[in-house]
Structure 1
Amino acid sequence: MCGITGWVAFNDDLTGHQTTIDAMTASLTARGPDAGQTWVRPRVALGHRRLAVIDLPGGRQPMEASTPDGPVVIVYSGETYNFTELRAELTGRGHRFTTASDTEVVLRGYLEWGDAVAERLNGMYAFGIWDSREDRLVLVRDRMGVKPLYWHRTPDGALFGSEPKAILANPRFTRQVDTGCLRELVGFTKAPGWSLWKDMTEVEPGTVVSVDRSGARARTYWRLETAEHTDDAAATVGRVAELLGDIVPRQLVADVPQCVLLSGGLDSSAVTALAARDLAGRGGKLRSFSVDFAGYEENFRPDELRETPDSPFIREVSAHVGSVHRDVVLDSTALTDPALRGAVVGARDMPIGLGDIDSSMYLLFQAIRAESTVALSGEFADELFGGYLWFHHPAARDADTFPWLAFQNTYTADRTAPLRPELREALDIGTYVADEYATAIARVDHLDGDDAFERRMRTSSHLHITRLVRAMLDRKDRMSMAVGLEVRVPFADHRLVEYVYNTPWALKMVDGREKGLLRQAVAGLLPRSVTERVKSPYPSTQDTSYAVALQEQARGVLAEPGSAAFEVFDPAWVRDVVDAPAESVTLGVRTGLERLLDFHHWALTYRPHLSLA
């Protein structure tokens, strides 16, 4: 896992811009704390920051392959889980390897198959290749979008980077944010290719972007396709169990300490059990980690989202599989530290406003990184197997919009309420969301025999796999890589995704239970209490002092003259909230405060040009 960046300029000599490519590369140091290097030629400059995971001495980058017509150079981030098989195939085709790294396998694969190498990879990856034989830059992103990759088309080439900050480090990029950029930040539809920064684009998952002197082109090498499901219930359960039994061991390949993230829920517990079984077969012992809040279990109050605290289930799973477990316990003082908020906003390059959900994840990953370099996560299972409440809530399920936006309870709130009235009108979020929804559902293919309900649930599944999960994966990647931790996502294996997506909804809901298919596939690995547990979201602190601290910090922003936050947020709304009793600050209002504080920190750090008229 690493950070990559680059600059292609067909009408410039980049050998005179070493300082700039050094700055672009240095911006990604957190993603790759172990080493950094650049490769600069007149038309191209590549930078790489390395987090050493496989072949510690031999996987240095940028990695160059010599050919009779010029070098081909790669900067690569991620992991290719089938690199051993590909290496054997390429060796049989005459390729010779000088390292044991998966990076060299991808590079040699490109020499053999061109950019069609992407279709042969199983993994999470984002990479750039400079092919001097054709004076061409090739950018490739994995099918599910587990690893991020951004780019900016310049008048004579392109800039790219694992994160926006690498592109922002180039003085030729203008840091502009307009109302078009803000619509998605507020609307939360996860529009494909969106970036908060004007004229910066995310390379879409399953896509190859090529840039040469004649222009830029994009090719989709993978999309979520509809296919007939022919397995019966028993065979379907067996196939899911078989796939998971192959996927998790593949993702445990590393030359560094590794662990699992264990929440006590079905998804992370399943990954934990499979990982423990594989490591035990090799004579190893699994380490597991979880996040908790001081006093949370003792003072837990059930609500609409969480029936039980996680801790009892975490202890039960750890004892059942024999993991060496550690709870990372946080308190409100740590979570409200402004320096922590600044670090989180800097990791995400945008003011997303998730507050303690992001900051606690950052602190969890920071604690894990002191003991491990690789962690496996249960992320993606809810989107894939139908775990979220809104999959099963009729009003949200049947609404003609994104289900996660239609779902309402006492914790949800109007995302536009804290904004300046004139900005709310200019953004017109309702129309934006409706347009994005129409675009999204137009991409869904249905089978002729599907009834109305099956079509609705296929559409919902498609929206979650191609939209919502990408936001979740981006959060996981940014929070983990900000502290140099690689988090792998077994449920994002494209073979499993394709199979489960095409499984009829009735087979996914075995016994009428949400994620019933997954429950049955892992039933023999876990305690019954866990396989029967109701979905519980990632924990959020229930400590009232947290809301009080947010109110005080927001009062401080009000006192700052000329804060850019008030080009977006309504000062009257903020005054009302900071003067309200802390116990009246609902989770929805609290989220509004989080967004205000995030935006304030983001504007101070990034100094954007806001064009909101």
Structure 2
Amino acid sequence: MCGIAGVFNHCRNNYVEEQLLINMAAIQAHRGPDGYGYISLKNLGLGMSHVRLAIIDLDIDRGKQPYISKDSNYYLVHNGETYDYQKIRAQLSVVGVKFESKSDSEIVLHLCSKLGVNRAARILRGEFAFAIYDKYEDCLWLVRDRFGIKPLYWTETHDGIIFGSELKAIFSHPSTQPQFTGELLYHQLIQVIIPGTTAFKGVNQVNPGCILKCKRVNNSIEVSEEKYWDISFSVLDKSSTEDEEYYIEGIRENLINAVQLRMNSDVPVGCYVSGGIDSCSILGIASELSQTPLKTFTIGFDSVEYDETQDALSMVHKTDADPFVLNIQSEHLYKEYAKTIWHTERTIDNCYAVAKYIMSKKVYEHDYKVVLTGEGADELFSGYPFFRQDMYKYGLNNKNPKKIQKLLNDLEKQNEIFKGCMFSCNALSSPGIEKKIGFTPSFFQAWLQYDPLVTKIMDKELSVSLKDYDAGDAIVDALDLGKMAGRHPLDKAQYMWIKTMLEGQILTCGGDRVDMANSIEARPPFLDHHLAEFAATIPPNLKINGTTEKYILRKAMKELLPKKIYNKQKFAFMAPPGHSKPTNWVFMKNLTDRFLGKKILNDSGLFDHKEVKKIIKRYEDPTINFSCKAQLDTLINNALSVQILHHYFVSKNIPKLAYMKAQELGWLVG
């Protein structure tokens, strides 16, 4: 994995300064501590830069980017991994393609030049984000992997297109100006962002499975987006009639293949292991594929209600792995909170992202660069409790109302700890979502419950700008409704979650950004697109069977898992919140005093100080119930995150910080 950045000016004669490109690389040097490269092309108005984390082909000179084709027509910067690169390399070699390195990134250059960008993207298997320029076409393409595992941002200013792996790389360009709007602030405060957007005005993400084409014509750039892949759940009247065994075997075959491919590395590969069946299944398979014991990394918390260490260790011991357990105290979470937001570049609703940031430091200290993870299983196999809620409420055709109500009551009791945050306290709906897909998924109801609180604490002018705004409508307008038409309600809920929370939260502040903050490449085998395409054909009743979520995945992995993990219900990875014990609030309050005080709130102009003060006072009230505390804890975390984003990205001079970082690294022109 690496970090990329670049500029594509409107005018070919506008030269991109080399030091600017270096600065854009330097500010994200944590993504690639093993080397950097850049190029600025005269009379083409194009510049690219790259920082490298060496995983495949450790030779620093051979792996240096940008890559340039033999005829000097194509220029590439690439971030990510292509797992079947040896096969593709051999296929290209036998037809005469000559390679300069052993890196998997170089094959992207040759595939694009031979097949075109769209066909090349369809062939690639893995996680990636890259930019490739075709001099003959005078066109820049920005390409992102199918699920958005790797980030890729872009904006257009009066100069041209600016892109980067992180927002801070884009804001290193002096023509950018980070700015919040009412709508973008609102989405950061309810956690669910509109696909393709960020926290900042005019700064976009390349959507997962998409190619952004930037064609220069007469000193202007025409921008268009094309989708090359999307997950497609089965249409109801075309559902499969295969039996359980067919799906069990299909899961096993595809998952084993996905894990095997992701163990390919020129550096050691470890495993993140929690107490759930997802990461434990990955460890079980990886251990059988490895000739030596695997190194595992597990996060433990100082609150027993949130700690899964013993469950994780039961799997570690079963596979004779070499465990490292990091027992995180709440004090450490809040000490590293602000620094984590610098890396996530979006809000966090709980300190789990901070915990993963702290863990990735430890992984790096153990001399590991690569870990396998369990992300994606809940999305493909309906693991989250709110998917069960959707199945019971909307997917059983109301066959037995009493039985359905009992299932819902039992589900709520089992997840009491998440009520107020992951579970809404009341049934809510979005008119826009209801109109277009027929119901409001439960996960979105959980975030809708924040609407009256969010609009109240926002600055009054910003809040007024949201009058009659339907966040749900804005979100579904950004989705491909054809992928939900005629699908089962459970599949609709999964699709909507995948396109919003998986990409926008799980893979961002819980994935790439906190791992790459410490130069760690996290590989999620469950998000192999061959496995995902197979999983999308599984009937809903085999994903949620009665009270059992991920039913078919459990059956497929049964022989690998300890009995206690096989029988365990989903427990969302979550750090102890501020109200879980008195000392937690002491540390959290230090942050609220710093970032949610009257002066700093007035300076940012984003919040109403009096209303924020009321929320904090209410949170401190010992008489309010746990679910209300959970709701307020999430709101305070989101508000804190926004203020820290403002502190780092709006209040500070990012171009100056980027140049200072380049100076610190000794990355200077001349």
Q: TM (normalized to structure 2)?
A: 0.82
SS of alignment partner, residue 176 of structure 2: coil
Whether contact under 8 Å (2:279, 2:373) holds in the other structure is yes
Are positions 1:237 and 2:248 aligned together? yes
2:348 to 342, 353, 362: 353
**Residue identity opposite 2:472 in structure 1:** V
Q: In 1, are the aligned partners of 2:190 and 2:448 still within 8 Å (CA)?
A: no
Matched, 1:184 2:218: no
Q: Match for 2:507 among 448, 473, 476?
A: 473
Give the CA deviation at 1:564: 5.0
After TM superposition, give the deviation of residue 437 of structure 1 in Å: 3.7
Which residue type is aligned with residue 274 of structure 2? S
Q: Aligned letter for 2:587?
A: A
Structure 2 vs 1, CA of residues 185 and 396 (structure 1 numbering), >3 Å: closer, same or farther?
farther
**2:649 aligned with 1:606, yes or no?**
yes
Q: 2:555 aligns with which of 507, 515, 520?
A: 520
Could you tell which deviates more after superposition, 32-41 or 433-442?
433-442
Q: Which amino acid in 2 is paired with 1:575? A: K
**Greater Cα offset, 565-574 or 33-42:** 565-574
Alpha-carbon distance in 1 for matches of 2:28, 2:446: 37
Match of 2:483, SS?
coil
SS in 2 for 1:550: helix
Q: Which runs of 5+ in 2 are unaligned?
A: 395-428, 430-438, 653-670
Relative to 1, partners in 2 of residues 1:12 and 1:133: Cα closer, same or farther, differing over 3 Å? Answer: closer
Aligned AA (1:534)? Q
Match of 2:123 among 96, 115, 120: 120
Distance in 2 between residues matched to 1:142 and 1:173, nearest whole Å: 26
Other-structure match for 2:389: 393
Match status 1:106 vs 2:108:
yes
Aligned to 1:554: 592
> In the alignment, is residue 249 of structure 1 matched against residue 260 of structure 2?
yes
1:63 corresponds in structure 2 to: 67
The reply to whether residue 575 of structure 1 matches residue 570 of structure 2 is no
CA distance in 2, matches of 1:209, 1:553: 39
1:274 aligns with 2:285: yes
Residue 175 of structure 1, CA deviation: 2.0
Structure 1 residues 410-466: Cα deviation after superposition (integer angstroms, max 9, x where no partner): 99995545434554443348612244246547233445xxxxxx6211211211222
1:216 corresponds to which residue? 223
What is residue 420 of structure 2 aligned with on the other side? none
Aligned to 1:131: 134
Q: The residue matched to 1:393 in structure 2 has which SS?
A: helix
Amino acid across the alignment from 1:592: L
**Correspondence for 2:308:** 310
Q: How far 1:549 sits from its partner (Å)?
A: 2.3
Which residue in the other structure is 1:451 paired with? none
Q: Which moved more, 1:187-196 or 1:101-110?
A: 187-196
Q: CA deviation at 1:40?
A: 1.1
1:268 Cα deviation after fit: 0.7
Contact 1:548 1:582 in 2 (8 A): no
- The equivalent residue for 1:322 is 320
- DSSP 3-state at the match of 2:298: strand
CA shift for structure 1 position 105: 1.1
Kept in 2, the 8 Å contact 1:146–1:477? The answer is yes
Partner of 2:529: 494
Change (3 A) 1:103 1:410: closer
Aligned-pair Cα RMSD in Å = 2.6
The Cα shift of 1:180 comes to 3.1
Question: By how many angstroms is 1:138 displaced?
Answer: 1.4
- Would the aligned equivalents of 2:488 and 2:540 in 1 still touch at CA under 8 Å? no
Per the alignment, do residues 440 and 62 of structure 1 end up closer, same or farther by CA in structure 2, a change over 3 Å counting?
closer
Residue in structure 2 matched with residue 336 of structure 1 by the alignment: 334
The answer to whether structure 1 residue 459 and structure 2 residue 492 are counterparts is yes
1:408–1:577 Cα change, 3 Å? closer
Percent identity of equivalent pairs? 26
Question: Which residue of the partner structure matches residue 450 of structure 1?
Answer: none
Q: Aligned with 1:433: secondary structure?
A: helix
Structure 2 counterpart of 1:84: 86
Query: Which secondary structure state, in structure 2, belongs to the residue aligned with residue 145 of structure 1?
Result: coil
Q: Does the CA contact (< 8 Å) of 1:401 and 1:434 recur in 2?
A: no
User: Are the aligned partners of 2:141 and 2:211 in contact in 1 as well (CA < 8 Å)?
Assistant: yes
Contact 1:395 1:407 in 2 (8 A): no
Moved more, 133-142 or 322-331: 133-142
Displacement of 1:519 in angstroms is 0.2
Distance 1:457 1:71, change over 3 A: same
SS in 2 for 1:223: coil
Cα distance change on mapping 1:312 and 1:92 into 2, 3 Å: same
Q: How many Å apart are 1:583 and its aligned residue?
A: 4.7
Normalised TM-score (structure 1): 0.89
Counterpart for residue 72 of structure 1:
74
Kept in 1, the 8 Å contact 2:34–2:51? The answer is: yes
CA distance in 2, matches of 1:536, 1:562: 37
Native 8 Å contact 2:194 2:474 kept in 1 = no
Corresponding pairs, count: 585
Matches within 5 A, 1:438-453: 440=479, 442-446=481-485
**Structure 1 stretch 214-223 or stretch 561-570: which is displaced more?**
561-570
CA separation in 2, counterparts of 1:96 and 1:264?
47
Quick one: which of 501, 504, 526 aligns to 2:539?
504
Structure 1 370/397 Cα, relative in aligned 2: closer, same or farther at 3 Å? farther
Spell out, residue by residue over 1:311-332, the C-alpha distance to the aligned partner (whole angstroms, 9 max, x if none): 2211110110111001111112
* Superposition deviation, residue 577 in structure 1: 4.4
String of CA shifts for 1:148-167, please: whole Å, max 9, x gaps: 10111345641111111111
Please state whether the residue corresponding to 2:140 is helix, strand or coil: strand
Residue 382 (1) aligns with residue 378 (2):
yes
3-state SS, counterpart of residue 427 of structure 1: coil
Q: Counterparts of 1:429 and 1:274 in 2: how far apart (Å)?
A: 51
C-alpha displacement of 1:213: 1.6
2:663 maps to which residue? none
Does 2:37 match 1:37? yes
Contact 1:397 1:403 in 2 (8 A): no
Q: Which moved more, 1:510-519 or 1:251-260?
A: 510-519
Mark the CA change 1:137 to 1:397 in structure 2 (over 3 Å): closer, same or farther.
farther
Structure 1 residue 91: Cα displacement: 1.3
**Separation in 1, partners of 2:211, 2:369:** 29
